[in-house]
Structure 1
Amino acid sequence: SHRYIPARQLPDKSVSLLDTACARVAISLHAVPAEVDDSRRRIEALETELQIIAREHAIGIAIGARQINSEALLSAERERLATLESRWAEEKTLVDELLATRATLREKSGVVDSGDDQLRAQLVDLQQRLSTLQGETPLILPTVDYQAVASVVADWTGIPVGRMARNELE
């Protein structure tokens, strides 16, 4: 944040950054991801456009390739939505398991037994599976981590996360 948000001073800037990241994590656990919502809205817009095209065709206006193009876009967007919803469901399942495992470990924090090792191994496995599934663009953020903070900085500055990471490595 020091490099990319120079207009604000550090204590205020860091508190605002973490507060926003925490809020996003909390919302992402219970709300429809923005990508899914955006895809649904695109489908609605394309369906409306197809209805307009049908009315124009009914009154004799030449529609040309507009209908074919709109139908192709609608089909592609429906496939994208199905993929996103499937991935969202998988992520949600893994995140729920991950949070339940963490809660179990937290409850047992005073008692150490062999079950803790199994739970920790299960936690690591769930984290790896979730990380593999999410890749660079998570739909659900299970914890406040570098990705959550970087996405807030990216939204505030307009600089993509990948570009920020490359600049930091250089």
Structure 2
Amino acid sequence: MKIIAKRLAAALLTLIIGSLGEAALADTPTNQSFSPDPQIQKVAEAYAMDAVDFSGKQFGIKLDWSDASIADVEKALARMNSSYIGANPKPTDEQVMSFAKAYGSYVGEVYRRNHGGEWGMVTLGEDRFPGLRTTAGRSFWPWARAFNRITKGSEDNIADYYMALSKK
């Protein structure tokens, strides 16, 4: 499990460095493919539970797997962004990624449970990273969005992101 988590983290760091995390939803460009992977789903489910636990303990927020709970995820990530901005020195990308994986997995799991879809590896050009494919065949990568919300701020609002995903 640790090897899978390290591979996923490495793939996601490549994604972030390559600025692929900017896209909220891809309409399956010709150079994109998706490979379902049940192991990624298991990892995402575990990370999502970490977000539920951490939110309750740290922020007094109860995440209940509903679409409406994504607004609470936004509140938690906004608080993390405030801490990140004020931090000196800044947390490393790996430290931020541990929270991004948890909250991004929660967002992905809420989507999967409430709207369908599956976890797997998205290949975009030469880059591979964990993400989801919707039942309509579109791919998205919530770990990168959560990372961007923590590090960049409100322009990467996770509730707006989720609302856009839910409408597609």
Normalised by the size of structure 1, how large is the TM-score? 0.22
Larger strand proportion of the pair? 2
More helix by share: 1
TM-score, structure 2 normalization: 0.22
Q: Which of the pair has more CA radius of gyration?
A: 1
